[in-house]
Chains A and B, each alone.
Chain A
Amino acid sequence: MAVTVSRFGRRLLGVVVFAAALGIWEAWARSEGSFLVPPASAVAERAGQVWPTTDFLITVAASLKRLAAGFVIGAGIGVAVGLMMGSSRRTRRTLEPLTEFSRAIPPIAIVPVAIVLLGLGDAMRIAVIAFAVCFPVLVNTIEGVRAVSPEARDTASMLHVSSVGRTFRIYFPAALPCIVAGLRIAVAIGLLMVVISEFVGEGDGLGRYILFQQSQFNIPEMYGGILFLGLLGYVLNRLFLLAERRVLAWHYGAAGGPAP
């Protein structure tokens, strides 16, 4: 017998399970009372008190500012170099060993290098974020440009588009869906790097907040900070998904393909 469960019902199941998990956490935390695992209610309570305060919001804003700066720089470089490498086989082959190697370096390893070159402040952080953001964008841009159809390339030749013109007027728009997907991945990485870069050096920011709360053994606040970070990541991801869908739609129509 086939049982049709509505979409709402399915979502409800997920929510119920989630609530149950929270409930178990709460019950266990209250009974055992482990210092390191505060009840969910305590975390929520503290969060409700801390999150709306100006101090906290200013701290978050500082992190977001760094993220924005590093993201713009990193993505800009990634797209520019990606367009060059995607459109010319020779350029790609020449730059490939260097980019593949640089890409494999965990961005954390760049932190000490950045500290030596730029000190312990925001310049260092933005540089690290830019470095980390650059590569996913680069890789996706190259992929997007390479995926441009041979017909589009031939058309560009036939219509006498200069190579510069070709890159901006054909390859870039054609690769845009791929590029935006890369930007979405890069944002998540960028957020990660903001937090990591704030673990070291001086200054403010969400990462520093989490670390500080830990050092002060303010456990509920620490959990709250981590959760807020997760929330931030979720919101940013959703925003970019929306952007991605719009770019894709403008490419191919809401149906996701050419009309029959």
Chain B
Amino acid sequence: MSRIGVFICHCGENISATVDCEKVAKVSGFLPGVAFSVDYKYMCSDPGQNLIKDAIKEHKLTGVVVAACSPRMHEPTFRRATAEAGVNPFLCEMANLREHCSWVHEKGDATTNKAIDIVRSLVAKVKRNQALYPIKVPVTKTALVIGGGVAGIQAALDIANTGHKVIMVEKEPSIGGHMSQLSETFPTLDCSQCILTPRMVEVAQHQNITLFTYAEVESLEGFIGNFKVKIRKKAKSIDEKACTGCGMCTTKCPQKKIKSEWEQGLGVRPAIYVPFPQAVPNKPVIDRINCTYYKTGKCKICEKVCPTKAIRFEQEDEVIEREVGAVVVATGYDIKRTDFFPEYGYDKHKDIIDGLQFERLASASGPTKGEIRRPSDGEIPKNIVFVACAGSRDVAKGIEYCSKICCMYTAKHAMLYKHKVHDGNAYVFYMDIRAAGKGYEEFTRRAIEEDGAKYIRGRVSKIYEKNGKLIVVGADTLMGAQQVEIEADMVVLATASIANKDSKDLAHKLHVSYDAHHFISEAHPKLKPVETNTAGIFLAGACQAPKDIPESVAQASGAAVKVACLFSNDELTREPIIAVVNRLAPPAYSTCTGCFLCEKVCPYQAITREEIKNREGNVIRNLAVVNPGLCQGCGTCVALCKSKSIDLQGYSNDQVYAEVAAVLDTI
């Protein structure tokens, strides 16, 4: 005979405001099999947990139902308390009275009755629960870092410095990410390349880091501690071992006018190229779309001039497989381009550029060698307008969030411009100046007060070209929304930060969730900011939300610590919520008929075949067996098993039917 204890939590007023908790406790006490029931204000608190522990001992309870919040919140808490009182933790279940009842209904009898129904159904289930024991799995102590920007670099170096192996995958020919494109960085104005390139080199030279550039993650299977990753190494068309990076090929390539991605289209590169002089690795790749040889079948000049015969035109993509124990996603962000803005001319005007393009213009290594010259005619603009929040915080544009970095980099841009063009005018249209960060407010004040950037609070409705000038039409909301018109020579739009275009695909490959804007979701916005909902996969940098460099680096170090924690164990314990094929005494062995439909549908390849032999050693039966290390407990095999031979531990058909039947009884 079961002796179940039911514990009703008020959750402060979260539940008790709409549910009559005392009544629920009282009614629950009369349910068959319930030996004890009580309500309490905060069941998750220390006294609340003690209440449960004491009741278990005093009333010799054989099962526990805690009717409180979502199991995602406190199931581990209550299972731990149950275990401490000497009862198997899997004999404790949670009835979700908060998210499933009190938060979504009005106060009243119907709500209280629903709460009672939920409790009754969980009581019916817990009576059929069985003691389960955690599964132990080994850990592969190698981390995969996806993305070689500043966040990926930081995470990789931190993990590698704890003595663990790291595999870094970067889709571009060089690591460095967007930070390598920046001129100076706020709020100190130190040169971006100067602080980043030493770290890039460190990655390449670190004995614990294996670097794959021009490569992408093809698929990821497995689970925490035991992932298998397939990496597509795109054909670089060179032999990396033979290539010395001498640069002969890139100087002799006849294709010289291809728009450089790294220069944001403001500079050019050849078809065989390294994206920038400080690239890591400093070895070229052939852009097959623009290469004369791949287009016409003739040329091969690079092959002729290469002193080490390193060119490989016939090279193909290679897919390699590696085992890793943890993954750090650091794939970064992108920005909206100027063609997104009809009111600013859909990219019609050459001298309306985005923030990254301005970074290239201001950079000493950029196409103008750091002189601010406008793209159309190379003139130095005397009047320059910066438009903050271009696309951000704009529901009509579908981007309601703040891109976070633009206030600061726009102040920096205005400052850099004023440092280089002393007699020029820099205007900044802004909504609010969001400069919350160490030294940030001081920085924007400096742009306004010391460098004389003219800040205008208001939005720009329209930019059009007239007699070679860009007419910027806006409002000054501090002057009674007066219309402002500025004749500008150049306009810089601080366009919205957005998720990378392949962010969603990657999330699907990694089985992690993403938000409406395709940024990858963290497990909890406050308490689990670097974890994803998939155990063993962590986040670093702007792939999660727009972030500046300090924040990306901090998060990357956080993710690295999480990986290091994981790798400090030799084996992991997993919840035993897995499928099991029943076994019976010979001669039946099992009700499994050996159809192996389960093998076909299992998404985790967790089903294997076991041969049953007789005394003579002849195979008499083939049975399905679930590998507990691989099974994720999805239940697909249970649904498809024709002979009902597979069941999910903790959620067996018997338990779930009992749960449903208990609810249906009252209707």
| A-B interaction | no
B residues engaging A (CB < 8 A)?
Answer: none
